[in-house]
Chains A and B, each alone.
Chain A
Amino acid sequence: MSFPEKLLRSKVFIWTLLVLPGLWPVWPVFVSGNPSVGADPLKYVLHHYGFVACVLLATVLAFTPLRVLFPKSKLALALNRHRRLVGVAGFAYALLHLTAYLFHDGWATLVHDVWAKPKTFILAGLGAFTILLVLAITSVNAFVRWLGGKRWKNLHRLAYLAAALAAYHQIYARKLFPVQVLWIFGPLVVLEILRVVRQRTAANPEAREKM
C-alpha cells in the first residue's frame, strides 16, 4: 500500500483534517487579537463555520464521481471509505454555523426572517440545514438497515439539493458575488458533468466503439 493511500485510508488522519478547521477561529479570536476579527468575533466564527460546511459538502459529493471516473485509483477508493464521516462532519459544521448565528442574531431574528418576513437567503440556509440534519440522522447503521439500500440511497440524493441551496445561500450572504463559491462548488460541477458523460458512453456500446 502506497503512503498516500495509507494516509487517506487512515481514520485518524481524516478526523484530524475534519477537526482542525473547527479550531482555526481560536487563533484570530483569542490568540493573535486581530482587531478586524475582534470587532465582531462571533460573525467571524459564523462565516468560518458556514464556509467549512460548504467545503465539506462539496468535498463529500465529489467522492462518488471521483470513484466512477477513476475506478482503478486506490486513492479514490480510500476516500470513499470516509463518505459518512465527512458528510456528518459537514452537518456538524452547519450546526456550529447555526449555533453561532443564534448567539449572534438571536432566535427573534431567525423567526422574523423565516416566518414574519421570509428571506429566501435564510430559507435556503434552513432548507440545506434541514436536509443535512435528516441525512445525518439516517446515516446511523440501524436507519440504513431499516430504510433498505435503495430507499436510503434515494433519500441521500437530497445532498445534491442541499449543496445547491447552500451555494445559493453563500452567494446571497454577500453584497457582491463571492468568488470563493466558484472554487468550492466549481470542481464538483465539473466532476459531475464528466461523470454523466462517462456513464452515458459506458451505457452505450456504440458510442464506446467510436471513442
Chain B
Amino acid sequence: MHLRFPKDWALPAAAVTPEPLYRLAQRREFLKTLGIGLAGAALLRPSALLAATAGFPAKGNPLYPGTALKPTAEEYVTSFNNFYEFGTDKSEPKDYANKGWKTDPWTVELAGLVNQPAKFDVNELVKKIGGLEERVYRHRCVEAWSMVIPWDGFPLAKLVALAEPKPEAKYVRFVSFNDPAHAVGQKEGNLDYPYVEGLRLDEATHELAFIATGIYGKALPNQNGAPLRLVTPWKYGFKGIKSIVRIEFTAAQPKNTWSVMAPDEYGFYANVNPKVDHPRWSQASERVIGAGLLGGRQATLMFNGYEKQVAALYKGMDLAKNF
C-alpha cells in the first residue's frame, strides 16, 4: 500500500477536520504502526467525520418528537449493531467498519422503471431534496430487542418523486455496497452479497418511510450504515438496508437477502407483529436495549406502534402468510 506521511499527523482532531478522509484513515494506520494506535484512533475518530455531512443540524419534525419516546443512549446504538458485512457479532461492525472502509465520497443511483434515472453524490442529493429533518422512531429488531433512535434524514417519498417512477413500477429494490476487500463479512461470504431489500411502491411513498443520513444530529457512523440507509419503523430492523448504492424501481417483487437465505423465517413484508412468531422465538415481547441488567421487557406493539399510520397498507392481507 502506498503510504503518505501527512505533515500535521500529530495535530488534534479539531485542527484537521477538513482533511480528505482517505488521508485520515491512512494517518490512523500510520499511528498504529507507531504503536500508539489506540490513543491516535481515539483522537482522530474518523467515523465521526465520515459519511454524508450536508444538511446538519437537521430540523426536528414535531410529529416525531423525542419527548414521547425516550431515545436509547447513543453509545448503545453505535456499538450494538447487526451489519453482517462487518461480522455477525453485535460488537464487530463498530470495529471492522472503521478500518479503511470509505463512505465518502459516495454515489447513489436511481434506476429501473423511472423517467429520471440519475446518479447523485449523497451530499448533493441532500441539498437537492431540501435538507434534513430529525425524527425519533421506535426500532424493533427481528431478534426481539428494541431501541428508540433519533434519525436525521428525509422522507423516502421525496426521493421517489425525484426519480419519477413509470406506471409499471410497483416495487422499489434497494441494493447495498459490495466491497469484500474492506468488509470482512463479505469476504467470508456469511450472506449473499450485496445485501438487497425491497418495498412495495406504496410502502416506499408512505410518510413514515425514511432515508437516514444521520443519528443524534450527526452523520451516520459507518457501523450504522453510512452514508445513507433505509428506515421503516413499522418493520423489523433487517428491512432497513444500510449503505445504499442503488435504488431501482421494478415491476416484480424484489427478492430480499434474508428471505432468500431462510424463506421460512424471514419474509418480504417483515412487518412487526406480536401475534406472528418467528419459527424459533416469540415476537410477543421485546427487550429494551439500554435498560440495564434486569429491566426492560415490554410488550411488542402491532406494526411497532405505528398501526394507525400503516394498517391501511395491508388491508385484507393475511399477515401470518405475508410475514
Contact = CB atoms under 8 A, between A and B. Distances in A.
Interface of A: 29, 34-43, 103-106, 108-109, 112-113, 117, 119-122, 172, 174-176
Nearest to B258: A175
Contacts of B242: none
Contacts of A117: 277, 282
**Residue of B90, B284, B293 contacting most chain A CB atoms (<10 Å):** B293
A39 B90 contact: yes
**Residue of A39, A120, A121, A176 contacting most chain B CB atoms (<10 Å):** A39
A122 B284 CA distance: 16
Contacts of A29: 293
Interface stretch (B12-20, B72-80, B155-163): B72-80
Given A109-B284, A119-B281, A172-B280, 10 more contacts: A29-B293, A35-B80, A41-B293, A42-B294, A108-B285, A109-B282, A119-B277, A121-B280, A122-B281, A175-B88
A113 B281 contact: yes
Interface residues of B, number: 29
Contacts of B88: 174-176
Contacts of B94: 36
Label chain A's interface by main secondary structure.
helix
A106 B144 CA distance: 13
A112 B79 contact: no
A174 B79 CA distance: 19
Nearest to B74: A35
Contacts of B297: 104-106
A30 to B, nearest CB: 9
Contacts of B290: 38-39
B190 A36 contact: no
B292 interface: yes
B293 A42 contact: yes
Contacts of A113: 281-282
A40 B145 CA distance: 9
Contacts of B289: 39-40
B79 A36 contact: yes
B287 interface: yes
B249 to A, nearest CB: 30
B279 interface: yes
B26 interface: no
10 contacts: A29-B293, A34-B79, A37-B91, A39-B79, A41-B293, A43-B287, A113-B281, A117-B277, A119-B277, A119-B281
